Amino acid sequence: MRGRDLSVRTVVTTSLGHGIEEALAAHRAGEVPVVMSGDGLIGQVGGALAETGATMGIVPGGRGNDLARVLGIPSEIAGAVEILAAGEARQIDVGEVNGKRFLCIASMGFDSEANSIANRARLVRGNLVYAYAALRALASWKPATFTIRFDGGEERELRGYAVAVANSKAFGGGMFIAPDAELDDGRFDVVMTGEVGKLRFLANLPKVFKGTHVDEKDVTVRQASTVEVSADRDFAVYGDGEHLSDLPARLRVLPGALRVIAPAGGPPR
């Protein structure tokens, strides 16, 4: 960053809370907070900076790096710094679940169990941790019944695997669970995966990396700006890979609430 004539000071964070405090203090001091981490810290700092008028920079430093992937920020440090130096501020939406904010995707059901396994995994490195976690979760999975209400009106009951409320396209290290979601359209893409045999679910899993799973008959996608979700058993709600809340959950979009430094002209298509 100094090689690009950017004035910089470094803070090593000790927790999510510490990272949030330091980012808010930097914004109040007229600085631009830049987060070098994974989606968890980026999501929490971004959520705290939302609606403050702050601009946030991102240097990918985690296992998944899905927000950077969708924004078109390179995973290599030199490329990410180039965006900080030459990019532009882009307004993006922020999601909120039971008062807790997230930037990418909040999911529940099968995804809750897979996220929990992934966060405990220590021996599996890189993006493989998410595939490993999905296989582990599938072994003991039993279908659940979800009740989903869209924009305070239409209600739907779903028997199956999971509900993903997507502000962005990807999670889990490149799984394009909501391939048509946009970060700046003021709406969630709600991806609902219904009941299907485990072997078929496993066979369809690779399609998530290309986003073609949404063409399967057991997958339904709806758009809404507020979503309420409950289930017939307890599930944690994970947002940006972090355990943010538990069901029942009410989710809403905060349109254009955060500015992030992104490639000029938008991400490559």
pLDDT of residue 248: 98
Active site residue 242: yes
All domains in the chain, ordered by first residue: 2-96+257-262 (3.40.50.10330), 100-253 (2.60.200.40)
Phi-psi region of 218 (alpha: psi -120 to 50; beta: other; left: phi over 0): alpha
Which pTM value belongs to this model? 0.92
* Three state DSSP letters for the chain: CHHHCCCCCCCCCCCHHHHHHHHHHHHHCCCCCEEEECHHHHHHHHHHHCCCCCEEEEEECCCCCHHHHHHCCCCCHHHHHHHHHHCEEEEEEEEEECCEEECCEEEEEHHHHHHHHHHHCCCCCCCHHHHHHHHHHHHHCCCEEEEEEECCCCEEEEEEEEEEEECCCCECCCECCCCCCCCCCCCEEEEEEECCCHHHHHHHHHHHHCCHHHHCCCEEEEEECEEEEEECCCCEEEECCEEEEECCEEEEEEEEEEEEEECCCCCCC
Residues of the chain with pLDDT under 50: none
Distance in angstroms (rounded) separating the CA atoms of residues 234 and 183: 29
Q: Which of 62, 249, 74, 64 is nearest to 168 (CA)?
A: 64
Report pLDDT for 90: 96
Return the sign of the alpha-carbon dihedral for residues 246, 98, 58, 182. Answer: positive
Predicted local distance difference test score (pLDDT) of residue 92: 98
Marked catalytic residue, from 96, 113, 228, 242: 242
